[in-house]
Chain A
Amino acid sequence: DTAVSQTPKYLVTQMGNDKSIKCEQNLGHDTMYWYKQDSKKFLKIMFSYNNKELIINETVPNRFSPKSPDKAHLNLHINSLELGDSAVYFCASSQFPRDSNYGYTFGSGTRLTVV
């Protein structure tokens, strides 16, 4: 009974394609996030939604677009994929933005490889 689940776990695709990664949490949390972990192991925030409202929108190419149909779901759509988009993408959730008592609950990641 996974708390934060991401699909797919692995994604291999060609340059120029459009792809989506889905994330769902069953914890009843109000806030969800997308993080990217690159080849140097940096975990960087990309987006965050609180109750379907965008509250963090870091400087990422506008080929990346998050969508939150409800507070339990946060999907990431990527247009015109490039080689440099290859990374592990983590979804996370928390009860409150910046929850310091319980931190974030992370999904297990989606490894995206662009060839």
Chain B
Amino acid sequence: DQQVKQNSPSLSVQEGRISILNCDYTNSMFDYFLWYKKYPAEGPTFLISISSIKDKNEDGRFTVFLNKSAKHLSLHIVPSQPGDSAVYFCAASPSGTYKYIFGTGTRLKVLA
């Protein structure tokens, strides 16, 4: 039962353009959401988070949007750079628990 879904396994974007990575969830009890980036042979690296009381959080080139009614969040990267090429995971945590549940990731390739 996959509660956090990243339905696009891969995405290619031209350098300088916007990258939009999507994540859907099924559990309405999720109240914190995180995005991680992962390079090959390395562990995931924390990027940005959002709580369910917000609908947007911005950090430099990275913005996360949360649509609670649609149970959907997205990560926008503007402008995209070749160094952004990596696998991106979204993760969600149910209220009252200590754990995060991860999606299966989307591989982003930024073309120079």
* Interface pair A45/B99, CB less than 8 Å apart: yes
Judged by DSSP, the binding face of B is strand
- A23-37 Cβ-contact flags toward B at 8 Å (1 or 0): 000000001000100
Q: Which residue of A lies closest to B45 (CB)?
A: A106
Question: Which of B42, B93, B100, B101 sits near A108, CB closer than 8 Å?
Answer: B42
What's the least CB distance linking A53 to chain B, in Å? 11
With an 8 A cutoff between CB atoms, is B97 at the interface?
Answer: yes
Q: Does A77 reach chain B (CB closer than 8 Å)?
A: no
Closest B residue to A90 by CB, please name it.
B43
Q: How far is the CB of B15 from chain A (nearest CB, A)?
A: 26
CB-nearest residue of chain B to A35:
B102
Classify chain B: how many residues form its interface, as a range: 20 to 34
CA distance A108 to B45 in the complex (A): 10
Q: List chain B residues, Cβ under 8 A from A81.
A: none
Cα–Cα, bound, A99→B104 (Å): 21
Query: A48 CB to closest chain B CB, in angstroms?
Result: 6
Task: Determine the residue in chain A with the shortest Cβ distance to B9.
Answer: A41
A48 near B46 (CB under 8 angstroms)?
no
Contact A98 B43 (CB under 8 A): no
